A = this chain, B = another copy of it.
Amino acid sequence: MRVTTIHAPGDIRLEERPAPTITAPTDAVVRVVAACVCGSDLWPYRDENEITPGNPIGHEVVGVVEEVGDDVRSFAPGDFVVVPFCHSDNTCAHCRAGMTSACTHLGITSGGQAEYALVTQAEGTLVKTDGMPDDALVPSLLALSDVMATGWHAAVASRVAPGSTVAVVGDGAVGLCGVLAAREMGAERIIALSRHEPRQALAREFGATDVVAVRGKEATEAVRELTDGIGADSVLECVGNGPAMRTAFAIARPGSTVGFVGVPHGIELPVARMFGLNVGLAGGMAPVRRYLPELLEKVLSGAIDPGRVFDLELPLDEVAEAYRAMDERRAIKVLLRP
C-alpha cells in the first residue's frame, strides 16, 4: 500500500509498504477513507522533534473496517468508523474514569496518512456510524479523530461554563475547534487571538465574538481591555510553545484555569504567577474516545461542523504538498484522500 513517511525535516515521501495485518485478537485494519495532517506532524517536519528516518506518519483517520481480530465483536468489515488517534481498551481503571488517553493498553495510530491503518484495541477504540455517511460529512467526522476532540478537551480542561468569557490562544485548527467547543458549552464571550484573516473569519463563524489580532504583550493588553481588566474566565492554550503559554497565563483571571492541549515544546511554567493568582493548568493528550459519542451526535445532527477547518483537500499522492501548505500557513488543515 501507499503510506506517508518522514525521512528528515521537510522530507515527506509517499512509499510502498506492506499493508498492516491483524497480529493480535484486539486489532482491526481500517481502509482509510480520509486522513489529514496535524499541527503536531509539523513538529518533526520543522526539526523540533527527533525523527526516525523512514517512519510512517499521520494519526487522524476515518475509514471502513477491512478486517478484525477475534476479540473484536462490535465491528465488522464494511463498518464506517471514526478512529481516535489514541487507542484504548475502554475497560481499564483509567478508561472507566474517562481518561482513555492514559489507558493501560494505550496505542496510537501511526502511519495513518496511508491506504490502510492498524487500530489496536479496536473494540474499545472505534466508533461507527449507522451505515455509510454522506460524503459531505466526512471532513467533520474526520475532525473527530483528533482536532475537534482536542479543542473540546481544552474547553473541558479550562472549565468553560455557560455565560463565561473564554479566550483562545492559537488559531490553528485545534484553536478554531476550541472556539467551536466554547460556543457549544455556552460561553457568552469568546475572544480568539488570531493575526490571520481567513482564520479570523472562521473563528467568527465558529462563535468568536471578539478577535485580537496582535501578539504577546499587546495581546495581553487587548484582552485585559476587553475584559475590564479582569482577564478571561477560561483560557484555551492551543499551541504548545513558550510564548503562547505566557500569553495564556497573562490573560487568565485569578482563580481560572488554562486548558492546554498543544504538545509542549520549550515551555517553562510560571509557577510563582500560578500560585500568586491561583491560575491553574489542566489538560494534555485528549481522551478522544470519551468525547466521541457526544461529538458524533453533534456532527450528525448538524449542531457542529468542525470539518470546515479543512480548507484544502488533496489526493494522498500529494501529501508532501499538504505538509508544505500547512507549514507555510497557506492552509489551515489539509484533508487527504487515498
If over half of A's interface residues share one DSSP class (helix, strand or loop), that class is named, otherwise mixed; here it is mixed
CB neighbors of B among A267-298 (8 A): 267-269, 271-272, 274-285, 287
- B264 x A272 contact (CB < 8 A): yes
Minimum Cβ distance to chain B for residue A86 (Å):
11
Given A93-B230, A94-B253, A271-B267, decide whether A99 and B285 contact each other with a Cβ distance below 8 A. Answer: no
Tell me if A328 is interfacial: C-beta within 8 Å of chain B: no
- A264 x B255 contact (CB < 8 A): no
Minimum Cβ distance to chain B for residue A268 (Å):
8
Q: Tell me the bound Cα distance from A257 to B277 in angstroms.
A: 17
Residues of B within 8 A of A132 (CB): none
**Contact bitstring A66-109, B, C-beta under 8 A = 1, else 0:** 00000000000000000000000000011001110110000000
Residues of B within 8 A of A310 (CB): none
Given A230-B94, A255-B94, A255-B98, decide whether A275 and B280 contact each other with a Cβ distance below 8 A. Answer: no
Contact-residue bracket for chain A: 35 or more
Minimum Cβ distance to chain B for residue A255 (Å):
4
Given A93-B230, A255-B99, A255-B102, decide whether A283 and B278 contact each other with a Cβ distance below 8 A. Answer: yes
Tell me if A248 is interfacial: C-beta within 8 Å of chain B: no
- A157 x B280 contact (CB < 8 A): yes
Tell me if A260 is interfacial: C-beta within 8 Å of chain B: yes
Residues of B within 8 A of A260 (CB): 275
- A281 x B278 contact (CB < 8 A): no
Q: Tell me the bound Cα distance from A268 to B272 in angstroms.
A: 10
Which residues does A use to contact B, with CB under 8 Å? Answer: 93-94, 97-99, 101-102, 157, 228, 230, 253-255, 257, 260, 263-264, 267-269, 271-272, 274-285, 287
Apart from A269-B281, A274-B284: 7 A-B pairs, beta carbons within 8 A: A93-B230, A94-B255, A99-B255, A102-B255, A102-B276, A255-B287, A263-B275
